[in-house]
Each structure stands twice: as C-alpha cells, then as structure tokens.
C-alpha cells in the first residue's frame, strides 16, 4: 500500500485563489496592452541578462573596456621606460602601480602556459606601439595569485633605453563593482536607449494592428443592436481583411433575411387582422347579449395574442429610430401613470427608442403594481445606468425565475408580465432592453417581493461627466 498523502490546507488554496484573482485584476484586458506587457517583460529579461553579464568581471567586455581605458597610461609608461634613466624608470613604475594594475620589468615575458591569447586586444595594442612585440593573454582558470584572480596578462618588448631587450609586464586584476560600474555606464545607457526605441516602435505597430479590431468590435455591437447597414473597411493584414470580408458578407445576408422577415410579418399581420375584424363586425349583430359578449372577448383575445406574437419577433429597430430622451423624466412620468413611487435619480439624456422603452418599463411597473400595490423605483449612475424596480408582492420560485427569460413560460402560473397570458411580456421587455445594449435581471427580495434590475450602458461623454461628478463629490 502506498503512503497516504496529507490533505491540502484550505488556507493555502485560499491564498492561491487570492493571488489568481489579483493577477487577473492586474492583467490588462486589451490586446495591445497585453502585447505591450509581454514585450516589456521580454525586453526587461534580455536587459537583465545583459546586465548580469556586464556585472561580473572577467568577460571579454571587461577586458576590452580595461584595455581602452588604460591604453594611454600603458603607452606613456612604455615611452618613459625606453627614454628615461634607470633610477627614474624604477620610480615611475612604482608610482604607476595601483591596487588593480601591476607593472614590473623582467627579462622574460609572463608565463602564458595554459592561457588564452587575446588576439584582437593584442592587435589594438600593436597599432598603438608599432615596432614593439606585444603579447596579451587571458589566464583562464590558471590564476597567478590564488587570493586575487587575474583578468588579463600583458607583455611588451622594450626596444630602447637601459632596459632594451627586457619586457614590460602588466597584470590586470578585476575591479570591484563599486569601481567597475561607473566605467560600464557608457555602454549600458546606449543599450537601454536602444531597448526603449525598439519598445516604442513595437508598441506603435501593435497599436496599428489592434485598431481595426476595436473598430470591428464597435461595428459588431451596432450590428447586435440591429443596425445591419454597418460595414468594416477592408484594410490591414491579410487575416484582418479576410475577417472584414466575412463580416460584411454576414451583414449583407442578415439584412436580406431581415427584409424577407419584415415582408412575411406584414403579410401575416394583414391576413390575420382582416378576418378577425370581419368577425368582430359580424359579432355585433348577434342578438343574444351573452353570446355576443363572449365572442367579442374571444376575438379581442385573439387580437392581443396576435399582436404579442408579432411584437415578440418584430425587431425594435424596425419600428422606431433613436432620439435623445430624458430618461429621468420618462421614469417619473411612468411612475405617476402607474402609481409607482419614484425615489429619484440624476438627470440624464440618452439616445433611446422612446416608445419601445416606455412600453418595456410600463410592463414592469404595471406588473409590480398588479401584485404588490406598493412598488418603488430608483435610478443610479456608476459604470452603467441601474434602474431598480422593487415591490413586496408574492415573489417567484427559483424554478420560475430560471424559466422567465423563455417565451411562453411565464404563462404557466404565477405572475404575468403584461403579455395577455401568452408569456411574451417579459420576452418583449428583454428584446427592447437588448436593442439598447441593456439587460434585465429578476430576483427575489429578502423579506418577500420581487426586484427587477434594468442595466443600460452609459455613453462615453456621460460616463466621463458622472465619474468627474462622483470624484468631486
């Protein structure tokens, strides 16, 4: 039998969940922002790797930097050795030594057994000292002093003066970070500037690529609201051009389907209303009052059901266009008409299909008053427009709430949403709100009753002003 693993602690799982939520909250939503974050991370990782390489002494970069920085001092010391007296040369060499560069004279060059020749640095030094023999090596793992590794070994043959035929040897030791980094900033700063330039260019092209996607999303939202005349401009990369062509073809097909549907609806409405009207006129001549009233009620019920059926499949955009409407005044007027108590809200002008919106909100208010006789409405502004209509009526079961968004389901019992018993009242309300980019949510209230929450998108200028007002408040 294998060993049983201990159960996971709830605290650790909770911490991971919290970290995941924080990561999701901090992660940008836009494609351009996500690509920019990824690109910045990649460039930062590359720069960090380069800085780590620069940070450690002993690389080819450090040897070349030290050679170029100490080249003038080395050449001046060589000329002094070849031209000055013996006593003066000894004093000059002692004064030239530092804690990280050591000079001395010897009859032989430095022992380079096991070392690696640095041909490029040696060639640079030969060009500065023509006629002198130059040897430049890296000791590798063979350190001359165990307590201090050697970065570079330099030997230059002396061609004149009292030390003619001997060698000027130099041991170059790594600098500490406090002294090495000031010498490296001249190389690091251009590297960072080039990375910033690459990032700026990449972000510009990323923005150019994602801009058509933003236009496509806006066009899709308009198409979802019923405007099938919108088309995308065929431009940009091949993939975006293919998407634009496919989207435009889809819009054209939907527009054709919509035209056919309107024609069929007009024909069906005419074919049903005409015989119903004829029967209504004939029913007026029935002498028996009870029979006459019953037939008239049946015909009126057929008319209501027919209008509901046609209204449930007829797009709101087929009937009415958008116009600027004072939503607060509209709510106040409906509340006075239906008897709902209006708790107020900020003044707000929105582009609405006023007749359709009035019908949808009236249906909700009439339903609340029919079952509660005590309903109230309130409007609030935030990231969107929230209109809540609440009452203390009988409420609905969980099963009923789950089925309310389906046509014909609301008529099976409980509340009726102004649909003449067809179960289409709520479906019509939702179709109106969807045409405006909004949503409808129904939920039971604590203590009894029903809450209908309508959410509508806030236009960008209005949203900016509302955020400014909330900030100043």
Domain identity same for 357 and 302 = no
Within 13 Å, how many C-alpha atoms sit on residue 443's CB side? 7
pLDDT tens sequence across 442-456: 888 887 888 889 999
Domain identity same for 372 and 452 = yes
Domain identity same for 430 and 460 = yes
Q: Note every long-range contact of 171-178, with CB atoms under 8 Å and residues 24 or more positions apart, other chains counting.
A: 171/101, 171/102, 171/110, 171/144, 172/63, 172/66, 172/70, 172/100, 172/101, 173/99, 173/100, 173/101, 173/102, 173/148, 173/149, 174/57, 174/58, 174/62, 174/100, 174/149, 175/57, 175/66, 175/100, 177/55
Domain identity same for 436 and 359 = yes
Domain CATH for 120: 3.30.450
Q: Write out the two tokens for 276.
A: 């119903």
Residue 277 lies in a domain: yes
Domain identity same for 80 and 129 = yes
Residue 54 lies in a domain: no
Q: Which distant-in-sequence residues (6+ apart) come within 8 Å of 131 by Cβ?
A: 159
Mean pLDDT of all residues in 79-102: 84
Q: Which of 297, 304, 309, 316 is nearest to 268 (CA)?
A: 309
Q: Which distant-in-sequence residues (6+ apart) come within 8 Å of 383 by Cβ?
A: 458, 463
Mean pLDDT of all residues in 87-114: 84
Which is more confidently placed, 354 or 12?
Answer: 354
Mean pLDDT of all residues in 185-198: 73
How far apart, in whole angstroms, are the C-alpha atoms of residue 363 and residue 425? 7
CB atoms within 10 A of CB 116: 12
pLDDT tens sequence across 350-360: 888 888 888 88
Domain identity same for 331 and 309 = no
Domain that holds residue 271: 240-313
Average pLDDT, the chain: 76
Residue 219 lies in a domain: no
| Residue finishing a domain among 149, 174, 199 | 174
Which residues make beta-bridge pairs with 439? 455
pLDDT given for residue 323 in this prediction: 85
- Per-residue pLDDT band for 55 (boundaries 50, 70, 90) equals low
Please report the beta strands in 328-405, taking only residues with DSSP state E, as ranges in sequence order: 341-342, 349-352, 375-381, 384-391
How far apart, in whole angstroms, are the C-alpha atoms of residue 367 and residue 154? 97
pLDDT given for residue 195 in this prediction: 77
Please, are residues 438 and 457 in contact by the beta-carbon 8 Å criterion? yes
Domain identity same for 327 and 306 = no
Residue 96 lies in a domain: yes
Please, are residues 63 and 173 in contact by the beta-carbon 8 Å criterion? no
pLDDT given for residue 435 in this prediction: 81
| Residue finishing a domain among 139, 174, 209 | 174
Q: Is the pLDDT of residue 266 over 80?
A: no
| Residue finishing a domain among 291, 313, 335 | 313
How far apart, in whole angstroms, are the C-alpha atoms of residue 335 and residue 374? 12
Domain CATH for 394: 3.30.565.10
Q: Which of the listed ranges 139-148, 308-317, 374-383 does the model predict with the highest average pLDDT?
A: 374-383
Count of structural domains, the chain = 3
Residue 217 lies in a domain: no
Domain identity same for 306 and 362 = no
Q: How far apart are the first and last CA of the chain?
A: 68
Residue 354 lies in a domain: yes
pTM of the full structure:
0.43
Residue 266 lies in a domain: yes
Domain identity same for 163 and 299 = no
Q: Which distant-in-sequence residues (6+ apart) come within 8 Å of 453 by Cβ?
A: 386, 387, 388, 389, 440, 441, 442, 443
Residue 30 lies in a domain: no
Q: Which of 110-114, 140-144, 227-231, 425-429 has the lowest mean pLDDT?
A: 140-144
| High-pLDDT (> 90) share of the chain, % | 7
Please report the beta strands in 292-438, taking only residues with DSSP state E, as ranges in sequence order: 323-326, 341-342, 349-352, 375-381, 384-391
Domain identity same for 262 and 291 = yes
pLDDT given for residue 37 in this prediction: 77
Domain CATH for 308: 1.10.287
- Per-residue pLDDT band for 10 (boundaries 50, 70, 90) equals very low
Q: Which of 49-63, 68-82, 301-315, 429-443 has the lowest mean pLDDT?
A: 49-63
pLDDT given for residue 472 in this prediction: 41
């Amino acid at each position: 039998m294998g060993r049983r693993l201990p159960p996971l602690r709830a605290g650790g799982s909770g911490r991971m969940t919290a970290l995941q939520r924080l990561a999701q909250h901090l992660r940008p939503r836009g494609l351009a922002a996500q690509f920019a974050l990824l690109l910045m991370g990649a460039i930062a990782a590359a720069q960090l790797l380069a800085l780590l390489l620069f940070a450690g002494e002993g690389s080819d970069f450090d040897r070349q930097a030290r050679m170029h920085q100490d080249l003038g001092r080395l050449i001046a010391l060589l000329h002094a050795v070849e031209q000055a007296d013996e006593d003066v040369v000894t004093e000059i060499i002692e004064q030239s030594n530092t804690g990280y560069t050591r000079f001395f004279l010897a009859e032989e060059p430095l022992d380079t057994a096991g070392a690696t020749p640095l041909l490029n640095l040696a060639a640079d030094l030969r060009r500065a000292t023509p006629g002198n023999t130059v040897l430049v090596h890296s000791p590798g793992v063979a350190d001359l002093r165990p307590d201090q590794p050697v970065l570079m070994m330099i030997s230059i043959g002396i061609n004149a003066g009292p030390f003619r035929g001997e060698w000027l040897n130099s041991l170059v030791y790594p600098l500490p970070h406090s002294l090495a980094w000031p010498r490296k900033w001249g190389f690091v700063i251009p590297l960072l500037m080039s990375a910033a330039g690459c990032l700026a260019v990449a972000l510009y092209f990323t923005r150019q690529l994602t801009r058509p996607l933003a236009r496509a999303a806006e066009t899709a939202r308009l198409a979802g609201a019923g405007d099938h005349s919108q088309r995308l401009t065929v431009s940009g990369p091949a993939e975006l051009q293919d998407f634009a062509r496919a989207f435009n073809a889809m819009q054209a097909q939907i527009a054709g389907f919509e035209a056919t549907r309107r024609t069929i609806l007009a024909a069906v409405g005419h074919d049903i209303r005409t015989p119903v009207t004829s029967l209504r006129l004939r029913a007026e001549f029935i002498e028996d009052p009870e029979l006459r009233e019953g037939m008239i009620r049946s015909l009126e019920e057929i008319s209501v059901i027919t209008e509901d059926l046609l209204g449930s499949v007829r797009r709101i955009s087929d009937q009415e266009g958008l116009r600027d409407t004072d939503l607060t005044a509209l709510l106040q007027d409906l509340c006075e008409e239906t008897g709902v108590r209006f708790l107020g809200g900020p003044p707000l002008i929105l582009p609405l299909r006023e007749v359709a919106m009035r019908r949808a909100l009236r249906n909700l208010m009439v339903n609340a008053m029919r079952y509660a006789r005590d309903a109230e409405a309130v409007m609030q502004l935030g990231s969107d427009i929230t209109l809540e209509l609440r009452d203390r009526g009988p409420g609905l079961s969980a099963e009923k709430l789950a089925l309310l968004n389906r046509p014909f389901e609301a008529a099976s019992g409980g509340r009726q949403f102004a649909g003449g018993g067809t179960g289409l009242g709520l479906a019509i309300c939702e179709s109106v709100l969807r045409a405006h980019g909004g949503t409808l949510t129904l939920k039971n209230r604590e203590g009894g009753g029903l809450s209908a929450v309508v959410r509508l998108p806030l236009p960008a200028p209005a949203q900016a002003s509302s955020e400014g007002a909330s900030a100043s408040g």
